[in-house]
Amino acid sequence: MKQRTNPLPAALLLIALAAPAAAETKLTFLMPEAGDRFLDSLQSAVVSTAASKFSASVEVAQAAGKGETQVVQARAALDAKPAALIVTPVDDASARTITEMSAAAGIPLVFVNRRPSGPVTNRMAIVSANHLVAGRVQMRMLAQRLGDRGNVAILRGKDSDNAAQERTAGVKEILGQRPGLKLLAEASADWSRRQAQDQVTAWLRSGLKFDAIAANNDEMALGAVAALKAAGFSGKILVGGVDGTSDGIAAVKSGDVSVSVLQDAPLQGAQAVNDAVKLARGEYVQPYDWVPHQLILPARGDLASGR
């Protein structure tokens, strides 16, 4: 006799049909500003990784370089209860405040690229490159090209930014190890190509004679190159950058910039999303996720290890 299969009871069938779909994971990414080539690439990586790997959405807010604005944005974001908050902080003060706010709200927090000076708290992670290493690597390459002799100028990023502080410290560390090299001048150009061009132009007009310029990022390096070209010093003064932006790599290939140090924006952005989702799920992540640098060598713009 043929056995009959029992159909799914009507009550269970209704329950199965009524079960809600899994809620979409929602993340918030707080950016310090818009228009910076590296930060734009970082944002693109965060948004694309969230969508492609986790089917997650990302709400992005730009702070126009103002720490108080970023704190207000963080408060609004936390009130909306995202699964996690990802932040590239404007400065250390805003980073500390956002850390306290996120902890009080019980929302996981990932700092990416720029990091706070305080300790890593519960349900928090930091994804970054080692900026001190970037400064060391950049200056070592410039020193090698100079034969360890000459005058050097430093273009710093925003002085409240730990990336600028540490890259500058790395450059000065190498200068201190080479008696034939002298730090002739330094100034902040706020990560800006235009401000760097104006600053180098002012140095040249004042009669300063230097052999190399170590810029904390590629944008300032390119501003220095523009100033040198306008003053007739093209090819006579070495310029170094950091970040490995598309413009920076092109300048290394053309010979306008002597060296850059790649900060892998896509990798940092992807890792920040990975850590944010894991923290939101209650999974363990490393407190510090270091993303290694790579040298962009002057000959062809090729990459080499730069740990």
**Residue 106 falls in which region: left (phi positive, over 0), alpha (psi -120 to 50) or beta:** left
Which residues partner with 305 through β-bridges? 294
Q: How far apart are CA 33 and CA 84, in angstroms?
A: 20
pLDDT at 90: 93
Burial environment of residue 66 by CB neighbours within 10 A (0 to 12, 13 to 18, 19 or more): middle
Cα distances (Å, whole numbers) of residue 238 to 145, 246, 292: 8, 19, 24
Contact 199, 231 (CB under 8 A): no
pLDDT in tens, the chain (307 residues): 444 444 433 332 333 333 333 457 999 999 999 888 899 999 999 999 999 999 999 999 999 999 999 999 999 999 999 999 999 999 999 999 999 999 999 999 999 998 888 888 889 999 999 999 999 999 999 999 999 999 999 999 999 888 999 999 999 999 999 999 999 999 999 999 999 999 999 999 999 999 999 999 999 999 999 999 999 998 899 999 999 999 999 999 999 999 999 989 999 999 999 999 999 999 999 999 999 888 997 664 454 433 3
Q: Report how far residue 220's alpha carbon sits from residue 209's, in angstroms, rounded to the nearest whole number.
A: 19
